Chain A
Amino acid sequence: AQSVTQLGSHVSVSEGALVLLRCNYSSSVPPYLFWYVQYPNQGLQLLLKYTSAATLVKGINGFEAEFKKSETSFHLTKPSAHMSDAAEYFCAVSSSGGYNKLIFGAGTRLAVHP
């Protein structure tokens, strides 16, 4: 069965610092992996996705994630945090039931301080 673990429910960084949000997955089949972001009072927005092409995936707003099969990880990074990056971030994996039948991690709330 598939599952997703996000390490750290809250992460705080300074503006301009590296953002690293951790995600580990468990999947019995080659996974499709996603990162979504939820800004306050908004719905989830797709940041990026891994679908077995390049292992380094670039997304919107300067975010990227690297798929590491040996570590079963799909960590999200951004070289320099901006105040507007403050939001909740969700890692997800497609379940065996379908591409968009997603299993989400518990979410990581990112705070960016001046």
Chain B
Amino acid sequence: EAGVTQFPSHSVIEKGQTVTLRCDPISGHDNLYWYRRVMGKEIKFLLHFVKESKQDESGMPNNRFLAERTGGTYSTLKVQPAELEDSGVYFCASSQDLDSPLHFGNGTRLTVT
């Protein structure tokens, strides 16, 4: 089966621009998570979708971040406008059930200059 796919793998944008990250979970996985790792620090939870619904978005840093999962399939994470501190690696992960193992994508490395 195909794994979790993230696009793009790298993105370099200027401060103030907009970037949209995409995640395609494993087919049939209702649960989709976004995590990010900023500047070599801990990987931190951003939010959790169950199908198309936001189950938990307590980790979203501010209202410049918008996540969607229309139709309960792929998800997008938009950062608008981007700030320097948004640089880092954004990971997407999916699981079939709430307590089944997470499958991570390779991440999107975002650099804001």
Q: Which of A62-114 contact B (CB under 8 A)?
A: 90, 92, 95, 97-107
- Given A43-B106, A44-B104, A98 contacting B91 (CB threshold 8 A): no
Task: Tell whether, in the assembled complex, residue A100 and residue B33 are in contact, meaning their CB atoms are under 8 Å apart.
Answer: yes
Q: What residues on A are CB-neighbors of B69 within 8 Å?
A: none
* B3, B44, B104 — most chain A CB neighbours (10 Å): B104
Q: What residues on A are CB-neighbors of B3 within 8 Å?
A: 43
Closest chain-A Cβ to B38's Cβ sits at a distance in Å of 12
Categorize the interface residue count of chain B: 20 to 34
Task: Tell whether, in the assembled complex, residue A104 and residue B104 are in contact, meaning their CB atoms are under 8 Å apart.
Answer: no
- Given A41-B106, A97-B58, A100-B31, A46 contacting B42 (CB threshold 8 A): no
Closest chain-B Cβ to A95's Cβ sits at a distance in Å of 7
Bound together, the chains give a CA A90 to CA B42 distance in angstroms of 9
The yes or no answer to A42 lying at the interface (CB within 8 A) is yes
Point out the residue from B44, B56, B58 that lies within 8 Å of A104, measured CB to CB. Answer: B44
Point out the residue from B91, B101, B104, B106 that lies within 8 Å of A49, measured CB to CB. Answer: B101
Residues of A at under 8 Å CB distance from B? 36, 41-46, 49, 90, 92, 95, 97-107
Residues of B at under 8 Å CB distance from A? 3-4, 31, 33, 35, 40-45, 48, 56, 58, 91, 93, 95, 98-99, 101-107
